Homo-oligomer: A and B are copies of this chain.
Amino acid sequence: MKKEQETTKGIKEIARLAKVSIGTVDRVINNRTGVSVKTKEKVLQIIAELDYQPNIMARMLASKKVIRIAALIPAVSNETGYWNAPLKGINEAASEIRNFGVSADFYFFDQNNKKTFRDQCAVILDNGYDGILLAPMFEEEAMDFLDNCAKRDLPFVLINSDLEHQPRVAYIGPDLFQSGYLAGHLTKYLVKEAQQVLIVNISREITFQHHLLKKEEGFRACLAAHDLSIEVGKVDINETSYDAVQQRLLELFDLNKPDLVFVTNSRVSSVARFLQENAIEGVQLIGYDFLEENIAYLKNGTIDFLICQKPQEQGYRGLMSLYQHLISAPTVEQLQYMPIDIITKENYLYYRN
């Protein structure tokens, strides 16, 4: 293991070699104005020769700047604790880099209220942040906001769902189609020929349909690809209260009891509760997300599989990626699809978001 030639190659050495002051070197390194083309070129050349890497710690110490990041995500509601996990991940990352000159502020919006999202966007824009981390739940509003960010050269990272045509530093989250496809694969193991499968979408907001439909597509694609003679039914439930879900399912089950139910989001616990309360046996259940209420049904066997995509890690990596970008670290992976995890009764204890 040879050591690199570590002979004090800093801004000072560059200045010496270029026969200029360190102030001038600083100007070209930081691309500031007021340097003649000639000296700039000379300095640049020496920087290249030395393969100079700025000392980030010295830089942050001297500049006394704090990198300010805004995180915009849904508030944890009493309807679902899902967003606790990304929040926790962001906080975890924030505390790891707090000592390195980073501060993160949270902005929460109501998932059922676009206006709250828009309002928070306005506040963020006014507060002069250096970077934004967000879950672009409302597509149109998010596009608007991100256009504004782009205009101000404000870098942003997306988590949870992607907007592919936006110039994001990174997207960190699930590939929804593949996620549904995997559910289809599990279904193949659980269901025999000629049995019946029911897809259940539960969501109040039409804006979410995009998510759910992508998963449904993937699910159907898998079953279709394997040409199984499984009957696939489907129901959309626009009212998220348990009573509404129960009523709708009672009707359906009365006509025809499916052998397996696939719920396309974390509302799977409502279906589990329905099965349990009505003492319906022999129905297998697949759904989404590592939430307390879901885990309870996983434990007692009502839910067979939960699919989960590391919400906490989405938050953690989201903030870290943005930070790496802001300190101009070499490269940030632009597309970071989360693994598609299968949670069962036996491994849920070891699931780390």
Residues of chain A at the chain B interface (Cβ within 8 Å): 1, 53, 55-58, 60-61, 95-96, 99-101, 105, 175, 178, 181-182, 184-186, 189-190, 222, 324, 327, 329-330, 337-342, 344-347, 349-352
B339:A351 contact, CB within 8 angstroms: yes
Can you list 21 residue pairs at the A/B interface with Cβ under 8 Å?
A: A1-B105, A56-B100, A57-B60, A57-B101, A61-B61, A96-B324, A100-B100, A175-B350, A178-B346, A178-B347, A182-B344, A185-B344, A185-B345, A185-B346, A338-B350, A338-B352, A339-B341, A340-B346, A340-B347, A342-B342, A342-B344
Which B residues lie within 8 Å of A99 (CB)?
A: 53, 55-57, 327, 329
Give complex CA distance A207, B228 in Å: 46
- Say whether, besides A55-B99, A60-B57, A100-B100, A350 and B337 are in contact (CB < 8 Å): yes
| A260, chain B: closest CB distance, angstroms | 13
Out of B342, B346, B352, which one reaches A222, CB within 8 Å? B346
Which B residues lie within 8 Å of A344 (CB)?
A: 182, 185-186, 342
Between A337, A340, A352, the greatest number of chain B beta carbons within 10 A of the residue's beta carbon is seen for A340
- Say whether, besides A57-B61, A61-B55, A189-B189, A350 and B339 are in contact (CB < 8 Å): yes
Give complex CA distance A182, B345 in Å: 9
Between A61, A95, A339, the greatest number of chain B beta carbons within 10 A of the residue's beta carbon is seen for A339
Give complex CA distance A53, B57 in Å: 17
| A186, chain B: closest CB distance, angstroms | 8
| A52, chain B: closest CB distance, angstroms | 13
Give complex CA distance A164, B349 in Å: 20
Which B residues lie within 8 Å of A349 (CB)?
A: 178
Which B residues lie within 8 Å of A56 (CB)?
A: 99-100
| Beta-carbon nearest neighbor of A336 in chain B | B352
| Beta-carbon nearest neighbor of A98 in chain B | B53
| A77, chain B: closest CB distance, angstroms | 21
| A309, chain B: closest CB distance, angstroms | 9
| Beta-carbon nearest neighbor of A309 in chain B | B350
| A276, chain B: closest CB distance, angstroms | 20
B339:A352 contact, CB within 8 angstroms: yes
| Beta-carbon nearest neighbor of A324 in chain B | B96
| Beta-carbon nearest neighbor of A62 in chain B | B61
B345:A340 contact, CB within 8 angstroms: no
Give complex CA distance A331, B56 in Å: 24
| Beta-carbon nearest neighbor of A338 in chain B | B350
Give complex CA distance A56, B57 in Å: 9
Which B residues lie within 8 Å of A178 (CB)?
A: 346-347, 349-350
Which B residues lie within 8 Å of A341 (CB)?
A: 339, 341-342
Which B residues lie within 8 Å of A340 (CB)?
A: 346-347, 350
Which B residues lie within 8 Å of A184 (CB)?
A: 346
The 3 closest A-B pairs by CB, nearest first: A185-B346, A57-B57, A340-B347
A181:B61 contact, CB within 8 angstroms: no
